Structure formats: structure tokens, C-alpha cells
């Protein structure tokens, strides 16, 4: 019977098991938003996962929205990531980078030249953003002109090419969690009246253009995408998420992607708190390999794979705190608990110092 320990092929990527490391922002990059030796060790420790999805990596200077997030748009960043991929591969692992543009979830203090962040529409998100000066209120973003969108697509393509040059096995296009591509997809944040706004078809246009261009550049069998149909994270929502994402997922079929990674419900919330959404319907619509993500333990992940609800399960906090999660699951061993005070601060503390079973 297929289970979490069964091998799986995602496009061109062969996985020894179906336990995927979910993308987790850790804010540990060095000067110039370059991965450091600590980053190398962090990912090397978790190489027994079937596939590592890295923390989200900004595709260009304007894509940044948090301090110390490692980019994939400079030669120095590429060189830093190359040491990461080499270490993961030497440890027998596979690793794909999550390509990121935060859109309006930024601040002028985090933008080149203090520029205003961009978005599909000039709508200010509710809340505050972490900057190098501490927490600050979000600002009203500048709506992107249609004429700017081809250059944005080109930034995704260049970042994907950079990722391949840095030794990654693939890329995941981040189109969830309230960031730029999700802002285009959802009705609350996209109030455009041009070809990129209004209908679900128009709101999905930019994501589909990005996917087409990236697939053409590096091969569709090394490209995945992240969606989060109902998460309200970063002050985002949709008037009809089922209709929107049924359409989006149906359109993904024409790309024959390596995988689709779906964040169910709301990050950090228990399933009983999730907003209503029929994920089984997405499974029925989508013809490719599906990774489900959020709130799974061993038993529920095993049941989802064995029952055919998913091809693989992504684990975030569990792999953060248990670099040897695969072996712990295999043995039925107890799990370390994550130190939530050290998610985004602490350097090696709460990052590379979680004990292995052998310790």
C-alpha cells in the first residue's frame, strides 16, 4: 500500500518518501540577503525529507517585504544558495526554491530607494509590517500598470534560471498566503478594470503567464505552484473562493507541472477553524501530483496519502523542530516541540540546535 514512506516522482524529481518540508520564513539571511553557513546547516539537517521547499525567496529587489529573507536575484545570493543545494544533495536530499514577490505586504523602508510597494490595486492592507526599524503600519501600495507586467513575468523567469544555476532540483511559484500573485487572484485585493481584473479568468491571467514563461524557461517538470484558497493571512479574501480556485486549478492541468502544493485552511489554525472549502473537489479537478499542507501529524498525513486525498504531505513546524522527522515517524518516536519565540530571531537558537534522536 502507498504510504508516507513510499517513493514518489514529481515531474523530474524522484522523492524517496512523501514527507515534504513546507516553506518556512526564518529571517536568518546575512548581509545582502545572502544565505549563510547557518542556512546551509539548517537545510542539510533536514535532507531526509522527500523534498525540501525552501523559505520564500524574493525574485527581485522590489519583491522583498521582510528583513533578512534570502533572495535569488544577485550573484552573491546565487552563490550562497549553491552551497545550500550542494550540502543537501551530498546528504542525499532534494530541494526546490519557493519564488516570491510580496507585493503590497512590504514597506518603503524595505524597498529600493524607499519606493512604494506595488500591488494589483491601490488598497492598503490592515496591519503592520516588520522592518529594520521595528513594526510599522502598512502603506497604500501603487497599482501596477499593465505595461509593467511583462517585466514582472521576466523577473520570475530570471529567478527560476538563477535557481537552476544555483543547483536547485526545481522551483515553486508562490501564489498564496496573500502575496503578489495571490493578490491578483483574489477579489478583495484585485479591483482592476483591465485584462488582469474583474472576472476569475482575468484575475488568474498573471499567474498563468508566469507559469507559462517559467515552464518554457526551465521545463514544466521542475515547476510547482503554491495556492492557499481560503487563508485570510495578510488581509486577503475572495468573494467566491471555490469558483476562483476550481478555475485556477483546472487551468494548471495544461502545464503538466511537477506538483501543486495546497495550503488548506488557515496557517496555524486547527481544522475545525478552517473556512469552508471543498479540497476534495480540487483533487478531482487536478490531474497532476498534489501536496496537501497544514496541520497534519503522522496519523492524518498517513491517512491522506493512503486514502488518495494527496500524493504527499507538507510538514512545517514539525520539520522545523525535528530535522529527523522521517525517522521519528518511522519509529513512532516522540517529537520535539518548536520554540515559537525563536521562529524569526535567535540565529542558531531554534534553527540548527534542535536535537536528533541520536542526541
Q: Any catalytic annotation for residue 286?
A: no
Local confidence band at 276 (pLDDT 50, 70, 90 cut-offs): confident
Local confidence band at 266 (pLDDT 50, 70, 90 cut-offs): confident
Report whether pLDDT(358) > 90: no
Pairing relationship of beta strands 134-137 and 13-15 according to DSSP bridges: unpaired
Distance in angstroms (rounded) separating the CA atoms of residues 86 and 119: 35
pLDDT in tens, 194-240: 999 999 999 999 999 999 999 999 999 999 999 999 999 999 999 99
Among 48, 56, 50, 52, residue whose Cα is nearest residue 85:
52
Report whether pLDDT(270) > 90: no
> Where in the chain are the domains?
8-342
Reading the block at residue 23, the C-alpha cell is 516553506
| Under 8 Å between Cβ of 79 and 129 | no
Cα–Cα distances in angstroms (integers) from residue 60 to residues 57, 107, 112, 317, 321, in the given order: 9, 15, 10, 27, 30
Domain 8-342 coded CATH 3.20.20.70: yes
**Phi, then psi, of 290 in degrees rounded to 5:** -115, 130
pLDDT in tens, 97-106: 999 999 999 9
pLDDT in tens, 346-355: 999 999 999 9
Distance in angstroms (rounded) separating the CA atoms of residues 165 and 134: 35
SS3 187: coil
Give me the catalytic one of 42, 156, 179, 196: 179
Amino acid at each position: 500500500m502507498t504510504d508516507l514512506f513510499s517513493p514518489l516522482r514529481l515531474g523530474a524529481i524522484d522523492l524517496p518518501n512523501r514527507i515534504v518540508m513546507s516553506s518556512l520564513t526564518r529571517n536568518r539571511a546575512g548581509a545582502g540577503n545572502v544565505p549563510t553557513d547557518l542556512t546551509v546547516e539548517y537545510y542539510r539537517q533536514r535532507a531526509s525529507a522527500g523534498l525540501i521547499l525552501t523559505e520564500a525567496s524574493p525574485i527581485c529587489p522590489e519583491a522583498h517585504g521582510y528583513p533578512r529573507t534570502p533572495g535569488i536575484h544577485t550573484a552573491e545570493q546565487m552563490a550562497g544558495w549553491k552551497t545550500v543545494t550542494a550540502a543537501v544533495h551530498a546528504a542525499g536530499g532534494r530541494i526546490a526554491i519557493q519564488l516570491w514577490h510580496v507585493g503590497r505586504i512590504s514597506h518603503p523602508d524595505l524597498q529600493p530607494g524607499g519606493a512604494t510597494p506595488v500591488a494589483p490595486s491601490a488598497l492598503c492592507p490592515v496591519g503592520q509590517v516588520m522592518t529594520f526599524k521595528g513594526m510599522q503600519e502598512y502603506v497604500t501600495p501603487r497599482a501596477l500598470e499593465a505595461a509593467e507586467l511583462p517585466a514582472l513575468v521576466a523577473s520570475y523567469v530570471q529567478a527560476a534560471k538563477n535557481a537552476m544555476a544555483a543547483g536547485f532540483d526545481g522551483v515553486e511559484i508562490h501564489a498564496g498566503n496573500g502575496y503578489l500573485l495571490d493578490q491578483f487572484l483574489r477579489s478583495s485585493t484585485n479591483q482592476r478594470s483591465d485584462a488582469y481584473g474583474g472576472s476569475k479568468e482575468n484575475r488568474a491571467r498573471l499567474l498563468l503567464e508566469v507559469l507559462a514563461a517559467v515552464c518554457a524557461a526551465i521545463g514544466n517538470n521542475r515547476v510547482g505552484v503554491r495556492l492557499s484558497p481560503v487563508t485570510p493571512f495578510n488581509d486577503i479574501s475572495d468573494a467566491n473562493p471555490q469558483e476562483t480556485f476550481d478555475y485556477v486549478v483546472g487551468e494548471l492541468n495544461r502545464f503538466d507541472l511537477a506538483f501543486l502544493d495546497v495550503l488548506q485552511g488557515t496557517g496555524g489554525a486547527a481544522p475545525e477553524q478552517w473556512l469552508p472549502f471543498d479540497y476534495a473537489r480540487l483533487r478531482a479537478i487536478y490531474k497532476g501530483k498534489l501536496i496537501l499542507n497544514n496541520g497534519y501529524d503522522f496519523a492524518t498525513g498517513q491517512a491522506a496519502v493512503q486514502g488518495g486525498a494527496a500524493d504527499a504531505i507538507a510538514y512545517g513546524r514539525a520539520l522545523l523542530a525535528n530535522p529527523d522527522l522521517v525517522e521519528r515517524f518511522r519509529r513512532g518516536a516522540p517529537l520535539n516541540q518548536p520554540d515559537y519565540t525563536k521562529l524569526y530571531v535567535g540565529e542558531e537558537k531554534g534553527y540548527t540546535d534542535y536535537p536528533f534522536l541520536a542526541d
